[in-house]
């Protein structure tokens, strides 16, 4: 997707290790409250207009219905979770008065109940009061399968969210949950007004007008929203901290491309914040190092640029059954074909030529990167080694025969592939490298690039969610430092399809009961060492079964920030907008 993502400058191993400690802790090491490192602005509205450029233009302002990071980030300046996550993975109170822990008595010893104490006196931007009713309503909204929320994965194992009093809610998990901050936090935890969204439950969520002009408790409110173009925001006069936000208005411009966004920060100085600068490393380095107007900010976490292989049949002839989870792909159902494709994928060249060998990304053959949960086993897998001879031999052995045109076929099925991704110079170069190698082993590859505002949606036939192609490429976005939730995206129930309005996270339409059992164990395992081992098992299944082909461990954020900006603290585990209330000049 930037399908959920983020950043800042700690080393990956350190960041992931700290975050992992938070998500697989024993009760004795429960996450402690952390204060924001930012310095508060001194006067609300003194900063004029904040100019933000997201070259992937937002199309909706409700993170629970987001089609990608562009949407969940945009909604985050308006809507807030109970708690955010900083770059160390530490939870930071937002609508919560404090972070629940076993030590402070807000989390039960068996890790099944979490009591959230809410801040008092909080108001929405329209002046209406925030209360426990809104938190309970948000649970009802997002955890109803009929809503088809993109955040539905955070509802896994959640038994109930109930109101204890006006300022207290209790989240109850069906089983012990080591990452008991799962629900209501980070990118998946935006709290909705029970009044504003009252007519948007279940099936009605799909056509909810409030998603285009929401009210929220965040630092800014919507004045005007043109989906796919511009958001004009004003400071929220009802924001609970009297000195924030510093900026009176925000102009959020969408569209264009990553290179133009980089120029706007580093060369012309026209904008204050340019997002996701997926620009070829040599070009980006040159712009940033010579700039007098902007600084490059980046951070590693677990963002992985990946190739996604469709397990369903994307043939147009299937009509409404196209790419539905209960269909089978004509050739990716053969593991030998998937393996050959992986062996013909040259990560090293991509990393060297495009990502600057670490400036914006480095080679990886893992789904999860960093810390003690990163698998070392994949280094020895043949599917992680670039070897065209081995790839050809794999297909020969499986009976896929090259025709006179060089394209392999078997049983009347030809290895003809549609490979799609978003419009971006970096991704188009990735496509070119992969196409050249894949055609050497007998594929016929047609490339397709789709405007990012269309690609990262669940509504368009050209979107990544409907996946009317054979292979597609994108990166995962940052989510909370919860490994179980990360691997949950490939469980059977997450398979994307018409039944869930193409809003789930399992784009591959993958279903493996053995994999699901491992993730279920991981979700319940409080012992860190055992949890790490389970995460490695899950990772190795995804890689060895070629559910995905990991390409590059990308910087979770590579964004440009005006030199005049202060307090811009990015996180590798939350939205880039997680701390926007503290931004100043």
Share of the chain above pLDDT 70, in %: 92
Q: Which residue has the higher pLDDT, 485 or 51?
A: 51
pLDDT of 94-123, one tens digit each?
A: 999 999 999 999 999 999 999 999 999 999
Residue 19's pLDDT band, with cuts at 50, 70 and 90, is: very low
Estimate the share of the chain in helix, then strand, then coil, as percent rounded to the nearest 5. Answer: 30, 20, 50
CA dihedral for 274, 280, 283, 288, sign (positive or negative): positive
Among residues 254, 296, 300, 299, the alpha carbon closest in space to that of 561 is found at 296
Residue 238's pLDDT band, with cuts at 50, 70 and 90, is: very high
Cα 554 to Cα 5, 276, 280, 451: the distances in Å are 11, 11, 13, 21
Q: Name the residue with tokens 């007098």.
A: 292
pLDDT of 326-342, one tens digit each?
A: 999 999 999 999 999 99
* Domain ranges, ordered by start, for the chain: 301-479+542-555
Contact 207, 105 (CB under 8 A): no
**pLDDT score recorded for residue 479:** 65
Length of the chain, in residues: 585
CA distance 409 to 349: 28
Rounded average pLDDT over 169-198: 96
pLDDT of 458-497, one tens digit each?
A: 889 999 999 999 999 998 765 677 888 889 999 999 999 9
Contact 34, 234 (CB under 8 A): no
What SS3 class is residue 506?
strand
CA distance 185 to 190: 7
pLDDT of 247-257, one tens digit each?
A: 999 999 998 88
Question: Average pLDDT of the chain?
Answer: 90
CATH of 301-479+542-555, one of 1.20.120.1080, 3.30.450.40, 3.40.50.1360, 3.10.105.10: 3.10.105.10
| pLDDT(557) > 90 | no
Q: Which residues share a beta bridge with 550?
A: 306
Rounded average pLDDT over 448-453: 91
Residue 41's pLDDT band, with cuts at 50, 70 and 90, is: low
Instruction: Give backbone dihedrals phi and psi of 299, rounded to 5 degrees, phi first.
Output: -155, 140
| pLDDT(76) > 60 | yes
How do beta strands 273-274 and 294-309 pair? Answer: unpaired
CA distance 187 to 84: 8
**Residue 384 CB contacts under 8 Å (≥ 6 apart), including other chains:** 342, 365, 378, 543
pLDDT of 331-382, one tens digit each?
A: 999 999 999 999 999 999 999 989 887 788 899 999 998 888 999 999 999 9
Contact 420, 356 (CB under 8 A): no
CA distance 179 to 20: 10
Lowest mean pLDDT segment, chosen from 83-92, 219-228, 434-443: 83-92
Rounded average pLDDT over 214-233: 97
């Amino acid at each position: 997707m930037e399908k959920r993502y983020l950043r800042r400058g700690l080393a990956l191993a350190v960041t992931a290790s700290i975050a992992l400690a938070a998500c697989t802790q024993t009760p004795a090491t429960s996450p402690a409250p952390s204060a924001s490192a930012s310095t508060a602005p001194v006067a609300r509205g003194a900063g004029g207009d904040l100019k933000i450029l997201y070259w992937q233009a937002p199309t909706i302002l409700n993170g629970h219905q987001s089609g990608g990071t562009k949407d969940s980030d945009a909604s985050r300046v308006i809507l807030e979770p109970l708690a955010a996550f900083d770059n160390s993975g530490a939870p930071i109170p937002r609508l919560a008065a404090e972070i629940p822990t076993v030590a402070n008595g807000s989390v039960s010893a068996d890790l099944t109940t979490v009591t959230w104490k809410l801040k008092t006196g909080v108001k929405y931007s329209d002046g209406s009061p925030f209360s426990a009713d809104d938190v309970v309503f948000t649970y009802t909204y997002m955890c109803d399968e009929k809503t088809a929320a993109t955040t539905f994965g955070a509802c896994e194992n959640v038994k109930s969210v109930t109101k204890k009093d006006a300022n207290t809610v209790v989240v109850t998990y069906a089983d012990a949950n080591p990452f008991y901050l799962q629900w209501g936090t980070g990118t998946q935890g935006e709290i909705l007004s029970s009044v504003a969204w009252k007519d948007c439950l279940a099936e009605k969520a799909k056509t909810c007008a409030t998603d285009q002009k929401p009210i929220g408790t965040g630092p800014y409110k919507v004045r005007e929203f043109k989906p796919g173009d511009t958001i004009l925001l004003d400071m929220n006069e009802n924001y609970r901290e009297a000195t924030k936000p510093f900026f009176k208005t925000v102009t959020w411009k969408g569209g264009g491309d990553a290179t133009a966004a980089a120029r706007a920060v580093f060369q012309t100085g026209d904008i204050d914040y340019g997002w996701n600068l997926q620009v070829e490393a040599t070009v980006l380095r040159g712009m940033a190092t010579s700039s007098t107007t902007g600084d490059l900010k980046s951070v590693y976490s677990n963002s992985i640029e990946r190739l996604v292989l469709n397990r369903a049949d994307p043939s147009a002839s299937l009509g409404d059954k196209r790419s539905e989870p209960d269909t089978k792909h004509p050739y990716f159902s053969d593991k030998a074909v998937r393996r050959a494709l992986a062996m013909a994928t040259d990560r090293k060249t991509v990393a060297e030529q495009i990502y600057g060998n670490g400036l914006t990304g480095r080679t990886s053959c893992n789904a999860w990167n960093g810390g003690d949960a990163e698998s070392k086993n994949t280094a020895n897998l043949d599917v992680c080694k670039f070897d065209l001879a081995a790839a050809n031999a794999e297909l020969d052995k499986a009976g896929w025969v090259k025709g006179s045109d060089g394209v392999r076929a078997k049983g009347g099925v030809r290895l003809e592939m549609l490979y799609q991704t978003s419009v971006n110079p970096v991704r188009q170069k990735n496509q070119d490298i992969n196409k050249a190698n894949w055609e050497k082993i007998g594929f016929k590859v047609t490339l397709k690039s789709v405007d990012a505002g269309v690609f990262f949606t669940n509504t368009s036939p050209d979107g990544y969610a409907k996946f009317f192609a054979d292979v597609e490429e994108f990166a995962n976005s940052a989510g909370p430092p919860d490994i179980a939730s990360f691997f949950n995206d490939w469980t059977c129930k997450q398979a994307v399809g018409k039944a869930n309005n193409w809003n789930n996270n399992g784009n591959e339409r993958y279903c493996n009961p053995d994999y699901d059992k491992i993730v279920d164990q991981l979700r319940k395992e409080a012992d860190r060492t055992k949890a790490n081992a389970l995460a490695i098992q899950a990772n190795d299944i995804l890689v060895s079964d070629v559910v995905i082909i990991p390409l590059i461990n990308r910087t979770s954020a590579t964004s440009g920030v005006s030199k005049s900006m202060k307090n811009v603290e990015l996180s590798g585990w939350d939205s880039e907008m997680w701390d926007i209330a503290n931004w100043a000049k």
